[in-house]
């Protein structure tokens, strides 16, 4: 595995790099956001470990820029900050996982290995529920003739619901599919993302296709 570590605390970065090397993980290190962004663009990495508080360009900006440029290398964000909104922001910008400092080296390695194993299975070319169409291949979403812009996490959640439509999908199952089985954050994050989706997929069109089934989960139905 080849990893890019973007961390401005030089001693911590050196410690992490040594620990990863002991696990057979080749690690390149950048100490500011601008250098990290350049390396992420130019290198062929299996994962990126990205601190949030960085000089030059913070981790949020680096993550946002990479995803806007359609660079989909898995990103594990690190932060010493507390609060669920930092976690929500990280996922909304396209991060794949989130780890608070201080953390166990064993947990870091396990998270990286989990990210590297996330290879998407073969997907159908197109999904449709009512007039809502989702194309996993081109990462596009349409309702009727209007394009809907979705973040990576929003897209994954909508895809999971459309694949099971009209079945009710339990909340823990959606978290496993979209955030990964090793997700240790607040499970209520899914409610935040359902809110994001409703604002984009339903409300502008006067539809109610995304539904909450209390005590059971969430459901996608054909609703014009």
Task: Give the architecture (CATH level 2) of 127-220.
Answer: Orthogonal Bundle (1.10)
Task: Give the architecture (CATH level 2) of 2-117.
Answer: 3-Layer(aba) Sandwich (3.40)
**What is the C-alpha to C-alpha distance for residues 10 and 33, in angstroms, rounded to an integer?**
14
- Show me where the domains of the chain are located: 2-117, 127-220
Beta-bridged to residue 77, according to DSSP, are 50, 98
**What is the C-alpha to C-alpha distance for residues 220 and 165, in angstroms, rounded to an integer?**
5
Using the structure block, give the residue that is written with the tokens 């990103």.
75
Q: pTM of the full predicted structure?
A: 0.54
Is the CB of residue 114 less than 8 Å from the CB of residue 86? no
**What is the C-alpha to C-alpha distance for residues 91 and 88, in angstroms, rounded to an integer?**
5
pLDDT digits (tens, 9 = 90+) for 36-77: 999 998 888 889 999 988 998 998 899 989 988 888 888 998
Percent of the chain with pLDDT over 90: 41
Looking at every residue in the chain, the average pLDDT score rounds to 85
């Amino acid at each position: 595995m080849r990893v890019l570590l973007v961390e401005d605390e030089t001693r911590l970065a050196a410690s992490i790099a040594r620990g990863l090397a002991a696990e057979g993980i080749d690690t390149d290190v950048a100490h500011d956001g601008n250098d990290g962004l350049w390396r992420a663009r130019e290198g062929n990495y299996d994962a990126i470990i990205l601190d949030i508080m960085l000089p030059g360009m913070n981790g949020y900006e680096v993550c946002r820029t990479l995803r806007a440029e359609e660079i989909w290398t898995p990103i594990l964000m690190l932060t010493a900050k507390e609060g669920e909104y930092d976690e929500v922001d990280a996922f909304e910008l396209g991060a794949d996982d989130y780890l608070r400092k201080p953390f166990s080296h064993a947990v870091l390695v396990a998270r990286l290995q989990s990210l590297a194993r996330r290879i998407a299975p073969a997907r159908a070319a197109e999904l449709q529920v009512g007039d809502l169409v989702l194309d996993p291949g081109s990462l596009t979403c349409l309702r009727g003739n209007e394009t809907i812009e979705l973040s990576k996490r929003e897209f994954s959640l909508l895809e999971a619901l459309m694949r099971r439509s009209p079945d009710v999908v339990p909340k823990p199952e959606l978290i496993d599919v979209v955030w990964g089985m090793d997700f240790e954050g607040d499970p209520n994050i899914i409610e935040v993302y359902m809110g994001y989706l409703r604002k984009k997929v339903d409300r502008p069109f006067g539809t109610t296709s995304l539904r909450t089934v209390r005590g059971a989960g969430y459901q996608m139905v054909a609703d014009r």
